Structure 1
Amino acid sequence: MTLPLLILRPLDGARQTERRAKDLGLRTVVDPLFNVEPIAWTAPLPENFDGLLLTSANAVAHAGARLKSFRTLPVLAVGQATARAAGDAGFHVVETGRSSGQQLLDDLQADCYRRILWLAGEQHSALNPGEREMTVVPIYRSRAIALGEKAVACLKQEAAVLLHSARAARHLVAELERLRITPDQHHLLAFSEKVADAAGRGWKSLQIADRPDDESLLSLATGLCQSG
């Protein structure tokens, strides 16, 4: 019997992960822990910037029509999913960070992209731009919701749980405590060390993706779920 794979990320991303997982023959349960929604924002003048930082595909999905005015700016994307979303929206992606926004900024050449616009989520990690100027404009929010019925039912048996963000990890831990569900019969597959740290200990097993992308995460899931 294969283990079910519980996908908790927001719905748009969850559907993409689910498609990839099913292509690998995995049995999935999708029940997002967050609803992503656009928020009102004022678009600054594109000519004031020489680079556009996107750390999530949610920025592309929820920015609305005003996003088009920034197509003249080269995009600095975190992760392949964000880069694909930006490319599909007509942007030219010049840099793709493999681990985090901070890593991407740190790896930029010193004389490139001195005035960066970051279209971010309402709740975002702080980034240090160094000597660059960076303007942060929140354009969407991820609203935490209670663990859904499908997820609760899935967690009544041994399962593999995908976690894509530290915030999701903290919220899941809180929900498990609220529902008195112990994690010790479940396997955690974490997007990064930061996510694993936020999820804490007590899991039946915990594995961290070699790279922060679905391909690496689902490679772990395939080995775990199909041998479960």
Structure 2
Amino acid sequence: MWYAIRRASAHIIVLSSYSPFVKYTPQWKWLEEELNRVDRKKTPWLIVLVHVPIYSSNEAHFMEGESMRAVFEEWFIHHKVDVIFAGHVHAYERSYRISNIRYNVSSGECFPVPDESAPVYITVGDGGNQEGLAGKFRDPQPDYSAFREASYGHSTLEIMNRTHAFYHWNRNDDGKKVAIDSFVLNNQYWSSNVRERKLKRHYLNGMSMIAS
């Protein structure tokens, strides 16, 4: 099942990892329409939820999300998705902003590159499972992986305004939360627009000085 909800300043899209999503399938058509329907003036934040991680360096379920990445990654970047949350792998991992559009991953090795226009990928599959933790990560830690840990925990995304949100992951330690990983998430749409306006203003000011 796939659907979208709007909560406060966030437009949240939920995708199905186990329903067909290749070109012209119902889910593919629906996502194309839904992304075009997003109004970043009404909902500045665009968040995607999916079960199977698109990027993960854990041995458990490694590369299972590759087919969805190949189909949707360009859309995620074009529409300036801010963050993509996943579960499935019973561990925690956060990526840097990366993309793999120019590389076709088929050998089992993943070589994404830094891409400031891409979303952050976060796997939070470390709570609410009965099977135990997925404790084996691939070594060495890939360059795209900012932080990873196989511990029980939970995360919180606190939206501050239309340009910034605060994210943190807490390890559950004997019933107490321990803050382990945190960062400030810049809004892809509004932050980039602010940068573009500043550059344009700087350019126009420079041209004005030359003309005078």
Shorter-chain TM-score: what band? Answer: under 0.3
TM-score by length of 2: 0.25
Q: Which structure dedicates a bigger proportion of its chain to helix?
A: 1
Relative CO higher for 1 or 2, CA cutoff 8 Å, sep ≥ 6? 1
